[in-house]
Amino acid sequence: MLRPVPQDLVPESVVGHPALDEPFVRAVLAAPTAGKIPAINRYLAEVIARDTGIDDVPEVRAALDALRAGSPGPALRQRVRHLVERYRQGIREGRESLERVHAASGIVAALDPDPIKGSGEVFGAASYTLRASHHRVQYIVLQRCRDCAVSQERWRSAVDDTVLGRCRGGAVTHSRLASPIKGDRIDQGQTHVDLRSNHVRLPLIDGEGAEKARRRRGEGAEKARRTSRGGRGRVEKRG
């Protein structure tokens, strides 16, 4: 299995940009791991809320406080969902902007109990709402860090899933290996090749197939002898 190669986290076009001096961004760049994804979601949620002017909305403020405290819950997430629906209704009535719908949807995603799943929607919302140039630079770099972390996490999970031998309580188990049939060394449905005689045999279970083969060979030989004796007798009589 191939290990993913880390990509360049900072594009050449933004190397040295002041936006990357933000302590949080520098910490993520130093170690872009899956454990940082919840904090990335929280950071972007705060930036989205500020950039779109919804950071003082009660539902959003409560969500951001919960994200900082590390205690978002389903009830709070549902409250922000209702806010999204109100914004959508406002669009239909011509009194609300699509930008605020995306922003509130990003807050909902940041509250997702699965941070990796939620992060995709958070970055999607950020791509529609961030206006300040320094926030756009941070968004680009944090997205690369997020992608790198997710790639590494999926690679580790794939490696774990393909390990057949696991040591449990001092015993090694091979749960994914097929168990033999009736204790035979040759599984049913497999073909066994005897390299010494270059002969291919079908699997034999309990020796029953071998016994039938021997009986057939014996019957064939006996028939041949009878035929041979009968032929000689007829020849002698004609003479």
Q: What is the pLDDT of residues 130-146, one digit of tens each?
A: 989 999 999 999 999 99
Distance, in Å, from the CA atom of 221 to the CA atom of 219, rounded to the nearest integer, reads 6
Under 8 Å CB-to-CB from 124, ≥6 apart: which residues? 106, 109
Do 138 and 223 reside in the same domain of the chain?
no
Q: What percentage of residues in the chain have a pLDDT greater than 70?
A: 62
Task: Please state the φ and ψ torsions of residue 177, each to the nearest 5 degrees.
Answer: -85, 140
For residue 233, is it within any domain?
Answer: yes
Phi-psi region of 94 (alpha: psi -120 to 50; beta: other; left: phi over 0): left
Do 20 and 123 reside in the same domain of the chain?
yes
Domains contained in the chain, number: 2
Please report the pLDDT score of residue 187 as a whole number. 41
Do 28 and 75 reside in the same domain of the chain?
yes
Domain end marker among 159, 184, 201: 159
What's the rounded mean pLDDT across residues 10-32? 93
Please report the pLDDT score of residue 113 as a whole number. 95
Model confidence at 205, pLDDT cuts 50, 70, 90, reads very low
Structure tokens at 237: 């009589």
For residue 164, is it within any domain?
Answer: no
Structure tokens at 121: 């929607």
For residue 61, is it within any domain?
Answer: yes
Please report the pLDDT score of residue 155 as a whole number. 77
Domain end marker among 110, 137, 159: 159
> Which domain does 199 fall in, by range?
192-238
At 207, which helix (H) or strand (E)?
Answer: none
At 194, which helix (H) or strand (E)?
Answer: strand 192-194
Model confidence at 110, pLDDT cuts 50, 70, 90, reads very high
Please report the pLDDT score of residue 159 as a whole number. 63
Do 115 and 40 reside in the same domain of the chain?
yes
Do 132 and 204 reside in the same domain of the chain?
no
Tokens 């669009």: give the residue. 91
Do 220 and 113 reside in the same domain of the chain?
no
For residue 172, is it within any domain?
Answer: no
For residue 223, is it within any domain?
Answer: yes
For residue 107, is it within any domain?
Answer: yes
Do 64 and 144 reside in the same domain of the chain?
yes
Please report the pLDDT score of residue 152 as a whole number. 86
What's the rounded mean pLDDT across residues 27-42? 95
Lowest mean pLDDT among 9-18, 34-43, 54-63, 120-129: 9-18
Please report the pLDDT score of residue 72 as a whole number. 87
Please report the pLDDT score of residue 146 as a whole number. 94
For residue 213, is it within any domain?
Answer: yes
- Relative to beta strand 199-201, strand 192-194 is antiparallel
For residue 168, is it within any domain?
Answer: no
115 CA to centre of own chain: 15
Our CA angle for 38, 41, 43, nearest 5°, is 110
Please report the pLDDT score of residue 221 as a whole number. 65
pLDDT tens digits, residue range 147-197? 999 988 887 777 655 544 554 444 444 343 344 434 444 344 443 334 344
Do 228 and 131 reside in the same domain of the chain?
no
DSSP state letter for 217: H
Do 117 and 226 reside in the same domain of the chain?
no
Is the pLDDT at 88 greater than 50, yes or no?
yes
> Between residues 182 and 22, which one has the greater pLDDT?
22
DSSP state letter for 18: G
Is the pLDDT at 51 greater than 80, yes or no?
yes
Distance, in Å, from the CA atom of 105 to the CA atom of 83, rounded to the nearest integer, reads 9
CA distances for 226 relative to 167, 215, 220, 237, angstroms: 65, 17, 10, 17
Model confidence at 19, pLDDT cuts 50, 70, 90, reads very high
pTM of full prediction above 0.85: no
